Structure 1
């Protein structure tokens, strides 16, 4: 009997992740990633059935389209037997704007709306559009089986008191200016896994989910629903990130434009691509390198301290939304999963909330769900991100 597999493309601002998944049996056949942070492009594909790994390095490419073509070319060349069983392609899209609120099969109208929503996610949506176009061109047999899954969909339950900005109401009513959030696919995955681990029904679960990576966000989840999240109209709001500034006084922009005579487009470039830990450290947006320099480089230390400080503030604030019961804090995402150093610095500030870390458990770098809290603490979990499983399931449900 022929398998029914889903190819997932998860195109981010610092990496492209992809998988071939059986969503019903929850089996990953292939897991791949292209890291585009460093001077060279590294392509890694793991065959999880045969326990083999393909690793290649390439020079930087001059377009995102070439990068996506490289992924498809490699898959078709080396792993065609798996691609022959693919019945649909699932695409992660960061921002659906005001109109795209749930997963759907791609057509020209939806593709246009994703492109128009790029104004809300300029570091992401243009890459998603590029990847979708390449997928449609290279695998035309699946033209009507490409599905988009939106990071903003999970946050549709946020109430008006949380998603509205205190600006004239007409800007929401006429132009849909509001908080939309992001990382919703993985926050939803974390919710499902937390439910299994804590043995609590999803609709009774209160957690604070911390997705920490090059892009970072925190979501308050009450009774299984997103009630607030740190990213806003765009993924620029909220936490300090790799290259994004996060929360700032809007007057900073006016000052830069009016007093420093910096053009608006240049200000946009500064706040989205030259700020965050890169801007503070004047060194790198790679948290691995910043950690290595923490005790020897003042700006590296300062950038990490600011990053952790902001996260602790958000966790503290969101604890007030938990209706008197916080079931767990969850760390996920590249930094949340892998940096015991940063997790410890964040939790260290939160003893007032009855959050205490177990240093030994925290330092064990398991690639599975673990508790890292001490005995007298509210549960603190580390759950590896798995947006691709949710994307595969949503895609399968629409195309099969």
Structure 2
């Protein structure tokens, strides 16, 4: 049984899992990395602590989540010095995420020099986007010079969930058209046609698209110019506003959907509006992706909000019955991986728990097996 360690270094955390084949032998998370209050000083310290506490005998690979692979990396790759340098060159496109990813890679390479290290990119699943989906309508020379295009994110989750949807429905993955909705603190939608990403809501960065915990999602670009010219805000202040003080937090004062729902149920009008804005945006993307796909076999919810917030699932798909999309209230109130649409509906509505670490382990094994 192949043993694979997965390291998922986030901006302030490190998640890890150790697999023996499909079995999880160890797992955990180190949080508050680099923050005051007792957490590890940095990602290097966190990863060293994790490695020191695991039995890594017989390890065949270490799989690393890397958020941004740019145009260069369209699939998982074995890490060498050139790959490491290329990931470092992409830091300007993901300044909050690629540096921690790099830190984890560098520590693991030093500690386990004889074990293959594999980078699995969040952007890679979206390499199949048609150029018409990846291209922004800005001057071509400027776009090429600064790498301005749609890259998409949450690809590891969308890949896992769309494949798991086919398994749940007993349908061939290559024949299934699915709209996957990854709804966590970050949120994105993806249209998957026969296992290929053909549209996704996040763009050059994870800011575009759906309303999120603290991110605005889609806005008129003029808002940025207006805040600069009329409000006198600096570029960094606008960046902070749209990424860290908008979304549910900006509308309702809470970035956790559980708190928003609690306040909404208590009659808080700000929370009610935040909920409506959040769900309306999802509805719009589902409708748009239905039109792009032409035929939809399943709509699947995943991640923290997608898996656990039944009111969001119901509201986001309300009114889509003419498209063959409906939610059964009793099934929607359940738990676990399941179909929540009524029997006989044209489109299956599913809830599936995402498992990015398992997808990373699968990809790492494939890279090592083919000697890439």
Same fold by TM-score, threshold 0.5 exceeded?
yes
Aligned partners of 1:122 and 1:71: how far apart in 2?
20
CA distance in 2 between partners of 1:188 and 1:152 (Å) = 11
CA–CA separation in structure 2 for the residues paired with 1:36 and 1:89:
23
Q: Tell me if the contact between 1:210 and 1:330 (Cα under 8 Å) persists in the aligned partners.
A: yes
1:361 Cα deviation from its structure 2 partner: 1.1
Question: Which residue does 1:98 correspond to in 2?
Answer: 71
- TM-score relative to the length of structure 1: 0.85
The alignment partner of 1:294 has SS state of helix
Distance 1:246 1:13, change over 3 A: farther
3-state SS, counterpart of residue 320 of structure 1: helix
Deviation, structure 1 residue 295: 2.1
Task: Calculate the aligned-residue CA RMSD, in Å.
Answer: 2.3
Q: Given the alignment, which residue of 352, 358, 362 partners 1:389?
A: 358
Aligned with 2:16 (options 5, 13, 18): 18
Matches for 1:281-360 after TM superposition, within 5 Å? 281=252, 283-296=253-266, 297-323=268-294, 325-360=295-330
For 1:131, the equivalent position in structure 2 comes to: 104
Mean alpha-carbon deviation: is it higher for 96-105 or for 148-157? 96-105
Cα distance in 2 between the residues matched to 1:359 and 1:36: 38
- Partners of 2:139 and 2:3 lie apart in 1 by 48
In structure 2, how many angstroms separate the alpha carbons of the residues matched to 1:86 and 1:212?
33
User: Would the aligned equivalents of 1:356 and 1:376 in 2 still touch at CA under 8 Å?
Assistant: no
- What does 1:268-283 correspond to in 2, within 5 Å? 268-281=239-252, 283=253
Partner deviation per Cα, 1:118-140 (whole Å, 9 max, x = no partner):
32223322221222233334x23
Q: Secondary structure at the match of 1:307?
A: helix
Residue in structure 1 matching 2:342, options 374, 384, 399:
374
Higher mean Cα deviation, 111-120 or 305-314? Answer: 111-120
Partner of 1:165: 136
Whether the 8 Å contact between 1:312 and 1:349 is mirrored in structure 2 is no
Quote the Cα distance in structure 2 between the aligned partners of 1:343 and 1:375. Answer: 17
1:20 touches 1:29 (CA, 8 Å); kept in 2?
yes
| Distance (Å, rounded) in 2 between the aligned partners of 1:84 and 1:359 | 48
Partner residue, 2:222:
251
Query: Which of 156, 170, 175 in structure 2 is aligned with 1:199?
Result: 170
Aligned residues: 367
* Separation in structure 2 between the aligned mates of residue 147 and residue 264 of structure 1, nearest angstrom: 36
**2:293 aligns to what SS in structure 1?**
coil
Please list, as runs of the form range in 1=range in 2, the aligned pairs for 1:105-116 lying within 5 A after superposition. Answer: 105-116=78-89
The alignment partner of 1:195 has SS state of helix
Runs of 4+ in 1 over 6 A off after TM superposition: none
Gaps of 5+ in 1: 42-57
Q: Distance in 2 between matches of 1:320 and 1:221?
A: 13
3-state SS in 1 of match to 2:265: coil
Structure 1: distance between partners of 2:232 and 2:359: 46
Q: Give the equivalent residue in structure 2 for 1:153.
A: 124
- Find the aligned partners of 2:58 and 2:258 in 1 and give their Cα distance: 37
Aligned partners of 1:392 and 1:168: how far apart in 2?
40
**In the alignment, what sits opposite 1:27?**
23
Where does structure 2 lack aligned partners over 5 or more consecutive residues? none
Going from structure 1 to structure 2, the CA distance change for 1:395 and 1:62 (only over 3 Å counts) comes to: closer
Distance 1:28 1:234, change over 3 A: same
Q: 1:14 to 1:318 in 2, by over 3 A?
A: farther
How far residue 71 of structure 1 moved from its aligned partner, in angstroms, is 5.5
Distance 1:382 1:15, change over 3 A: farther
Q: Report the Cα distance in structure 1 between the residues aligned to 2:363 and 2:69, rounded to whole angstroms.
A: 16
